[in-house]
Amino acid sequence: GDISDGNIDDQHVVSTVKHFVGDGGTEHGDDQGNNIADEETLFRIHAQGYVEGLGAGSQSVMASFNSWHGEKLHGNKYLLTDVLKDKMGFDGFVVGDWNGHGQIEGCSNDNCPQALLAGLDVYMAPTPTWKPLFHNLVAQVQSGEIPMSRLDDAVRRVLRVKVRVGLFDLPSPANRSLSGDKSIIGHPEHRAIAREAVRKSLVMLKNNDHLLPLEPNSKVLVAGDGAHNIGKQSGGWTITWQGTGNENSDFPGASSIYQGIRQAVSAAGGSAVLSVDGSYDEKPDVAIVVFGENPYAEGNGDIANVEYQRGEKSDLALLKKLKADGIPVVGVFITGRPLWVNPEINATDAFVVAWLPGSEGQGVADVLFTNENGEIAYPMQGKLSFTWPATPYQNPINRGDGKTPQFEYGYGLTYADNTNLPMLNETVEADSSEAADHVIFQQSVQPPWQLVARVNDETGTMNSSVLTVGDMAIRTADRHVQEDTLLMQFGETPATVAFFAPFPVDLLDFTTPNSALAFDVKLQSGTGIQAGIACGDNCAGMVQLGDFMVDSNEWQAVEIPTKCLIEAGANLKEVYAPLQLSVKGQAQLSVSNLRLTQHGKPTTHCP
């Protein structure tokens, strides 16, 4: 709302601009990663939304999980206080993200004076840790570790926003003017704006021989698993956290892209047939294939490079099948980001990026088809707001960084353009897939992994030099240098030890012929130990460790070819544990120098 008069009426809410700042520019694009941009780039590329958002009257700013030059934003006094509050003049309050303060070096979820000192005004402490956090902060103010003036400032900021919103004068939320009026949710005026946004945001990368716009009185085959899937076209953070597991019926009043096409076509006397796998009885005039990324949120979206459907080209096969049948093919691509889709673009006659159109799938059909009189009702007008990559490894890529993209920032064909796109380069340069070793443990467990042990129903995470769970224990030991080894002792109870991350990690780089899970091991006692990779529910590839060792209780270098783990059931696209050990009885072993490498010994067969 406009707060120039100092007040917000009861028909408006306080908005939060987030997440401050730079999580979209981290190394490797990792969620909650490290942004190493210089300050000018951080401001020019990553902070402009805050300039606009604060200008529009936002009253709170959420701190981000990411780091800037290695320092977590929740503890970054320069950015939260000197830049945001002092330079940018923000007089609302800064709120944390889900236990984000606990990620600051030296902090935990229940003890973190650093965040308040840096400029956080409200901690987000969603779990029972809020009570000790509260008591610790009170004690830290009383001891003088946190100056009373900083606490007063935080409280003043929260009260200032409450006064502006009229919280001290307004009735309770249940008794305000809009509280009983549920018709505002999914209101036709709001849907119309959303549909308009879909129409205007479509970007056409290819339109050979003017295939688009289509005449609506055609026989249209609508294929692809995104065609009649409102959850997929809406993405993550939709009903469920990851945006997965939803049915179309969970979106009342929404339209899928197929439903929009069917409506446009049937109104003009044409026909639209839904066939996810692209099969048909009667040959259609045209096929519209709607495909793209499955929904994800946060770290679940992290990928090692920007190749679409890397190692699993089912959508490409569908496009090629229809094209081989002599059917004109329109690709409609659902995605939250530019991806390398050169093979898919080559397998279509026209290619439109729909991004994530959300609830108003009809907006896609509005632009793809003419009206019943053959006139363009809605123009194709979207332009790329991101630079589009020319190779899977062209990431990051930004305007002006000297790289040659596949499609420039601002590119987007209109129906007036006479452009036939030539075949694009589909070869992936072999040398650019050369990956450094992925280190799991060297002197310490490397992020994002943490060492987790489970005995029966008891689980523990290693946060110090010793971890005891049930009748098993892990402690650090010295081999070449201090604490470069993990000594594991197992009792009679079956146990599992894993280097685990809460989000899946894309390790497809390590599916090359000589890739291996490599580590040094000293097996003092124990047999029947299984080692392998865990990749989610009912997904793992485990092998007998003894099959890859020589019979000796001295230190030895072990390499388990990843192809053996893949044969055993591992999926390296979504790895939750790059090494999991399963031990059935008494055993004692030491491991060190644990990593995935592309430079293992050549192997012809798995035991």
DSSP secondary structure code for residue 39 in this structure: H
Nearest to 54 by CA among 108, 92, 6, 12: 92
CA 248 to chain centre: 23
Are 210 and 261 spatial neighbours (Cβ–Cβ below 8 Å)? no
Q: Rounded to whole angstroms, what are the CA distances from 310 to 314, 316, 425, 486? A: 10, 11, 16, 35
Sign of the torsion formed by the C-alpha atoms of 595, 597, 602 and 607: positive
Q: What is the spatial distance between Cα 564 and Cα 82, in angstroms, rounded to a whole number? A: 54
Question: Residue 130: enclosing H or E segment and its boundaries?
Answer: helix 130-142
- Helix, strand or coil, per DSSP, at residue 248: helix
Q: Beta strand 350-355 with 203-207: parallel, antiparallel or unpaired?
A: antiparallel
Question: What are 510's two structure tokens?
Answer: 């390590």
Alpha helices, H only, 147-256? 148-165, 188-201, 230-234
Going from the C-alpha of 461 to that of each of 467, 475, 483, 498, 576, the distances in angstroms are: 7, 12, 17, 10, 15
The residues that are catalytic are 97, 298
The answer to whether residues 498 and 577 touch, using CB atoms and an 8 Å cutoff, is yes
Task: Output Rg (C-alpha) for the chain, integer angstroms.
Answer: 28
Three-state SS at 165: helix
Q: What letters, b where the CB count within 10 A reaches 16 and e where it falls short, cover 512-547?
A: bebbbbbbbbbbeebeebbbbbbbeeeebbbbebbe
Pairing status of strand 587-597 against strand 516-525? antiparallel
Q: Which residues pair with 475 in a beta bridge?
A: 466, 487
Is 192 within 8 Å of 255 (Cβ atoms)? no
Q: Which two tokens stand for residue 63?
A: 């701190």
The residue among 334, 510, 383 whose CA lies nearest residue 435 is 510
Report the half-sphere exposure of 205 (CA within 13 A, side-chain side).
31
CA 60 → CA 19, 43, 77, 109, distances in Å?
11, 19, 17, 22
- For residue 365, what is the enclosing H or E element? helix 362-368
Q: Which of the 8 DSSP states describes residue 340?
A: B
**C-alpha–C-alpha distance, residues 344 and 327, integer Å:** 15
Q: Distances from the Cα of 58 to the Cαs of 50, 51, 568, in angstroms?
A: 9, 10, 53
Q: Which candidate, 464, 512, 538, places its Cα nearest to that of 311?
A: 512
Sequence-ordered list of residues with C-beta below 8 angstroms from that of 178, at least 6 positions apart, any chain: 10, 11, 184
